[in-house]
Chain A
Amino acid sequence: MGKPGAGKAIWKGFINFADVNLPVKLHTSVREQHIQFHLLHKRDRARLQQQMICAYEKKPVPSEEQSKGYEAEEGKYIIISPDELEQTSPESNRIIEVHEFVKTGDIDPIFMERAYYIEPEDNPKGYNALAEALKEMDVAGICTWSMRKRNYLGALEARENIIHLNTLRYADEVVQEKSFEFKKVALSEKELKIGIDLINQLAAPFEPEKFENEHQKKLQNLIDKKARGEKIIIFRPRRLKPTAQDKLLRTLEASLKKVA
């Protein structure tokens, strides 16, 4: 199956910092595809609708009777109207303003939301110069812009000779690692050493084309079988037996033997 091309631009603006002012266009870079199901009511096979139900009246509430509230105290809300929200939405000046540059590896992927391809609007030489500079220095430009009534935070990066704009999540949207606390169990140097050897044995280059969505085909198969009225054989999901603490070293040794 051939891949379709990048298609139409979704937004136009300028990359701006110091004396750089580069007109650019944004393109979507990912197209997800998967089998969609509807949720149905078992009894009557009616297609279910997601509704907003009033906790007090236990009835669906139409959108014109819905308001947004900020819970200031328990059970007490400040109502904010669509007009008030509208006032806060940013005005787009079409500028992707770069504030600073960071090493590309410094941004944890947990912050990465989605990527756009950036195409030069004109001045391809200037575009190539920026792409090359980003690549040679291995840096990402941290930038902000507003688009479709939202403020975005992003990182400009060059991949091959193309500039990408990755939108970043705001820090307060990401759950901090430190919010998790679990038992810290001591590890021996030997366990660590064998663990490291094992990982090195299993090291490989990143080759995404190797990983196909096989499940999608199998799922389509299942649907086809059911459509033909064939009986489906049920398999229980595999549940592995956890490696016991006192068997970790032995399991690591056996693993290493297996892969070496």
Chain B
Amino acid sequence: MAEQGIWSGTISFSLVAIPVQLVRAIEPGRVSFRMLHSKDYSPLQRRMFCPEEEKIIPSEEIIRGYEIAPNKHILVTEEELESVSPERSRTIEISEFIDLNEVDPIYFGHPYYLVPSKGGEKAYRLLVEVMNRTNKAGIAKFVLDEREYFVTLKSAKGVLELITLHYYDEIIPDKDILPKEKEIDVDDKNRIKKHIKKMMADFDSEKYADRRRKKIMAILKKKLKEKKLVEAPATEEEEGETEDLVALLKKSMRPTRKKSSKGTKKKK
């Protein structure tokens, strides 16, 4: 599977530099839909559209604007964006190594994989191997587009995972949640512990299939049997070429919180 990188740059720790590519770790899942035009069943593509000219705009004609007043923008170019933190826009510098068990899962944001670019395989493997043996994960910051990400790098089965972390400031204090009542019902606790012991298992993510997905699959199978298929008209392929890269990157780096029904979820 030749995943296309979202970002390319270098991981560094101390004096070692490893060229890498950042790739997606999340995909739409087994049942994914495409958005179609009801009239002709042609697939729909997400594009940036200029309402003034009523035209699809290619990525080279797009610029970022910061709104200072309604419809008044300060324009910011790619070069200017990269100039904000030039030391971080192409380098993931691991400043320290931590024990991942110390990290409250509340901090975890969005996961990616890092794969070695040509010539980086050996140093990459070294980092994976030593993090695995020491059971440590790297901590770093790096910049992608207009955002700086606080991230952790960990090794998993020979591959480096990069997981974005929330900044400390973004964590809502939990002081209002804590029950005022401090007392613990000890009998209750011991009874619960007994139940837990009986219910212990190994974590196996495959086990929990989405029930809803199963229901959708059942409907699809029924329709397939009834031969309820529609066909899209032939078009000249311009696959991905004009797909707005900026939007694509933004989409990919934003935590895909809403895996809603709306997106054009492409099948691989």
Within 8 A of A (CB), among B182-230: 182-186, 188-189, 191-193, 195-197, 199-203, 205-206, 208-213, 215-216, 219-220, 223-224, 228-230
Given known A54-B44, A112-B108, A233-B83, contact A76–B246 (CB-CB < 8 A)? no
Q: Are A234 and B47 in contact (CB under 8 A)?
A: no
The residue in chain B whose Cβ has the minimal distance to the Cβ of A143 is B208
Given known A142-B203, A219-B146, contact A49–B48 (CB-CB < 8 A)? yes
Within 8 A of A (CB), among B142-182: 143, 146-148, 150, 152, 154, 156-159, 161, 163, 165-182
On chain A, the number of residues with a Cβ less than 8 Å from chain B's Cβ atoms is 178
Q: Are A17 and B199 in contact (CB under 8 A)?
A: yes
Q: Are B33 and A110 in contact (CB under 8 A)?
A: no
Q: Are B216 and A80 in contact (CB under 8 A)?
A: yes
Cross-interface CB contact of B105 among A70, A160, A166, A213, cutoff 8 Å: A166
CA distance A18 to B191 in the complex (A): 10
Please provide the 8 A-B residue pairs with the shortest distance between their CB atoms, ordered closest to farther. A215-B148, A255-B14, A124-B179, A56-B42, A129-B188, A195-B130, A171-B205, A235-B86
Contacts of A41 in B (CB 8 A): 50, 52-53, 57, 61-63
Q: Mark A172-194, 1 if CB is under 8 A from B, else 0.
A: 11110111101111010001100
Given known A5-B176, A129-B184, A238-B86, contact A213–B65 (CB-CB < 8 A)? no
Minimum C-beta distance from B202 to chain A (A): 7
Given known A105-B101, A128-B183, A240-B17, contact A187–B126 (CB-CB < 8 A)? yes
CA distance A182 to B179 in the complex (A): 51
- A142, A180, A252 interface centre (most CB from chain B within 10 Å): A180
Q: Are B36 and A68 in contact (CB under 8 A)?
A: yes
Cross-interface CB contact of B104 among A79, A159, A218, cutoff 8 Å: A159
Q: Are B66 and A35 in contact (CB under 8 A)?
A: yes
A contacts with B: majority SS: mixed
Minimum C-beta distance from B254 to chain A (A): 10
Q: Are A110 and B163 in contact (CB under 8 A)?
A: yes
CA distance A216 to B66 in the complex (A): 13
Minimum C-beta distance from B160 to chain A (A): 10
Q: Are B168 and A185 in contact (CB under 8 A)?
A: no
Within 8 A of B (CB), among A73-101: 73, 75-80, 84-85, 87-90, 98-101
Cross-interface CB contact of B203 among A37, A46, A85, A106, cutoff 8 Å: A106
Q: Are B56 and A151 in contact (CB under 8 A)?
A: no
Say whether B35 faces chain A, with CB atoms less than 8 Å apart: yes
Contacts of B30 in A (CB 8 A): 172
CA distance A128 to B189 in the complex (A): 8
Minimum C-beta distance from B110 to chain A (A): 9
Q: Mark A126-163, 1 if CB is under 8 A from B, else 0.
A: 11111011101101011010000011010101011110
